[in-house]
Amino acid sequence: MSVIKEILKNPDNSINIAEMFNTILYSNVKSKYIDLILRIFKNDIDEDFLGYDAEDLEEKFFNSFPKMNVDEYRKLDFYKQAFLYEIISCRKDVDWISFNSFMEYNERKLINRKDLSSYKSFDNINEETIAAELKDNNKYLESDVITLYSDDQWLMIKPLTHLSSQKYGANTRWCTASSEDSSPFENYANDGILIYTINRKSGYKVAAYKELSDGDNEMSFWSQTDKRIDSMESELPINLIEIIRNEFQTKIPNKKIINETSSAIEHEMKNVEEKEVSLEGYDSKTGEEKINTLVERFKMIVVKLSEQRGNF
């Protein structure tokens, strides 16, 4: 037996497609998600290779892999040939990140579209994932961002904290959204204006940045894969690009907003402490009035916080 045949027959060198997906998705993945990803790949093949015959697909393969083993390739049926091409053509890494997020959100009951059999593409997955992501973020991070624009299709925000940058920058390769290191976000937020724009329907995201510390007037746009792109390549509507340009003219770094707001809170808290009187030895009626006064005072702090952020 030839060496190559020994290699091919060695079970250590073989992998089942379902096993492969079970490996690259998160631990203890449920079988329903393996079934879902296999069906999406099948649908992709049906769409991507519609109208192709065996010769067309072989030419496509040969253009990418001119030294491929044609004889072995031809032993595969058409579907396996197409499936192989789909896998080795490297589906975007953000799709895999999004799929993992989709599974997590679905287990947490945050996905609106419950019927997994209704998903036909990664676009369907991305659409539901971004909707769940925004729903989840809004519950906890509303005060950690400045919303510059919002409608049924688009959301544009300035992240003020590393956590909000992580959450709204999820399913991207942006260093400012890294969960492992907060320093890139801190550096960008201190030195310039950072803006995220999100398509609510497709999950598509674009980051825009303007450096302020060195007097550089250039603004940059970044794709989800962290590739620098031209503003016209960003797929953003003209009105959103104009909002970004106008925001860049404010010359207020993201961190300055949160720092000045924090200072305002500290000042208000100090006022509360100075005006607060001891509640020891009070009768129930007087004590209740004092507590209500403090509650109202804290409500005023929250209002002032909202107003301060709204003025930037």
Rounded-to-integer distance, Cα 34 and Cα 282, Å: 64
- Tens of each residue's pLDDT in the chain, 312 residues: 566 667 667 766 665 666 666 665 665 678 888 888 888 877 877 777 777 777 887 777 666 666 667 777 788 777 777 777 766 564 555 576 778 788 888 998 989 899 999 998 887 888 888 888 877 776 667 778 899 999 989 999 999 999 889 889 987 889 999 888 899 999 999 999 999 999 987 788 999 999 987 666 678 999 988 899 998 888 899 999 999 999 999 889 998 887 655 544 444 445 544 554 444 444 444 545 555 555 555 555 555 555 544 444
pLDDT for the residue 276: 47
Burial class (CB in 10 A: 0-12, 13-18, 19+), 305: middle
CA distances from residue 72 to 8, 69, 76, 89, 98 in whole angstroms, order as listed? 11, 6, 7, 19, 34
pLDDT for the residue 44: 77
pLDDT for the residue 14: 61
pLDDT for the residue 278: 45
pLDDT for the residue 277: 43
pLDDT for the residue 23: 62
Rounded-to-integer distance, Cα 192 and Cα 27, Å: 39
pLDDT for the residue 206: 95
Q: How big is the chain, counted in residues?
A: 312
pLDDT for the residue 147: 92
Q: Computed from CA positions of residues 92, 25, 140, 179, in that sequence, does the dihedral angle turn out positive or negative? A: negative
Domain boundaries, the chain: 3-91, 141-252, 255-310
Give bridge partners of residue 193 from the DSSP assignment.
210
Task: State the helix-helix crossing angle for 17-24 and 31-48, rounded to 10 degrees.
Answer: 110
pTM value > 0.75: no
